[in-house]
Structure 1
């Protein structure tokens, strides 16, 4: 009887553990993944980055934290916190950027030419920020995130969306295109093209690349960097990250 009870208790747990896929994150690339955090799990994706905007301006993010909670197989809650230090013409400004609250929801499973598709939406809250970084208005942002499995080791991901800055009514449109490559069971890399197209300004285009490494099924580290492709894009950036789920 004891053996039967142990089998009934342990077997479902073992099956669940086998079905749990390794952690999937929205970093380090700019292309958000369509993957949803498993139901009942908490996930935190932390990054530290340095961006050289031009010869007279730079930005340091220490850290950026994306916090997720899986509600079910098709929905997750999201919270984004960023502590930023900006330096321009020798003047340094530091503080908390407006907090972003939002969600991701699954729209379609991958089937043939139909990609795995999710929708992400956030709203930036101006009062949840340091005085130096407060905006005048609440600012929404959204994107559709899609992914195709090309082979056992290669995937193609892309995003389309728009965001607002909380100061003007004009949107900035966003696009990303990335190729993810599995180098081993634990290590992967990517190469990406992405850009921003303000309604009333010139578009800027950028590219980046990076590596990810699984420390376990629930922990991952990453390193990445990128450069601007157009004159109005930042010169370059570099980033490190650590993500985990519980």
Structure 2
């Protein structure tokens, strides 16, 4: 994804991370972090769920070497109906630190996002559970950290139960990003996004996932970027979960990231 090329997009994508696959009924805590795949599960009407995290991205590209710290990356999910949820995101307070003594440090607020998740179908036999997610990524952060303009994105999420302890989920979608061209004008570039994740419960409290994800530019000026990641989750209480994840870009193999998080639901 653009997570490996534009610092602002890196941070925005990081808060959209998905759950270790939903392995059971709607009463269990199913989060949309720490991976990149969004779950096809919505939360119950009248409930709210908060997913918080810290991440560090280490960018190592020709002419660009820096570390990006973001905290608290935030996603608030509010159940409106058994099939609908409202989603409010915040990329966190961010610090960009070039790996040179004289490089300027940049600090400030990242962007916000507003979106929805609509569960379209429950899993039935070979048919997966399906949901549609849409959002607007709002150009609300500090100028050096946020987006140029407010841009939309959408994706379809699918999940299959493989056993009572394992599942697979995958997403496909499109994101738009407004960028400044060499002449100073704004161009809106489209990217196709995809993810595939396998999740498994190790015990009643511990789980893990492995995942591949990426994006491919649909505009002539945009390229492709792909990555892999893995992580673990620990259910501290029935409605409180901790997580850790780490990953790397495989297109060039130079960019790395890791994160930790806390998620909880009110009921």
Q: Compute the TM-score of the two structures, normalised by the length of structure 1.
A: 0.87
1-side partners of 2:216 and 2:95: how far apart? 25
Alpha-carbon contact 2:189-2:222 (below 8 Å) kept? no
What per-residue deviation string (whole Å, max 9, x for no partner) do you get for residues 75-131 of structure 1?
0000110122223352221222221001101011111221101111110222x3223
Alpha-carbon contact 1:51-1:234 (below 8 Å) kept? no
Q: Which residue is equivalent to 1:129?
A: 141
Q: CA deviation at 1:218?
A: 1.0
Equivalent of 2:164 in 136, 149, 152: 152
Q: Which residue is equivalent to 1:8?
A: none
Equivalent of 2:213 in 185, 194, 216: 194
Equivalent of 1:68 in 77, 90, 96: 77
2-side partners of 1:145 and 1:139: how far apart? 20
Q: Which residue is equivalent to 2:55?
A: 49
Between Structure 1 and Structure 2, the one with more helix by share is: 1
Equivalent of 1:183 in 180, 189, 202: 202
Q: CA deviation at 1:166?
A: 3.0
Q: CA deviation at 1:134?
A: 4.4
Q: Does 1:173 align with 2:185?
A: no
2-side partners of 1:58 and 1:174: how far apart? 24
Alpha-carbon contact 1:120-1:143 (below 8 Å) kept? yes
What per-residue deviation string (whole Å, max 9, x for no partner) do you get for residues 139-184 of structure 1?
0011111100011111010000111223332111111000001101
Alpha-carbon contact 2:40-2:158 (below 8 Å) kept? yes
2-side partners of 1:48 and 1:134: how far apart? 17
2-side partners of 1:239 and 1:144: how far apart? 25
Report SS of the residue matched to 1:165: strand
Q: Which residue is equivalent to 2:235?
A: 214
Report SS of the residue matched to 2:144: helix
Equivalent of 2:249 in 203, 228, 239: 228
Alpha-carbon contact 1:154-1:181 (below 8 Å) kept? yes
Equivalent of 1:85 in 95, 99, 111: 95
Pick the structure with greater CA Rg: 1
Unaligned runs of 5+ in 1: 1-18
2-side partners of 1:225 and 1:134: how far apart? 23
What per-residue deviation string (whole Å, max 9, x for no partner) do you get for residues 26-74 of structure 1?
0001001111111111111001011111171221111200011001110
1-side partners of 2:135 and 2:160: how far apart? 24
1-side partners of 2:37 and 2:44: how far apart? 20
2-side partners of 1:234 and 1:105: how far apart? 36
Please, what is the CA RMSD of the aligned residues? 1.6
Number of residues of Structure 1 aligned to a counterpart in Structure 2: 226
Q: Which residue is equivalent to 1:244?
A: 264
1-side partners of 2:55 and 2:164: how far apart? 31
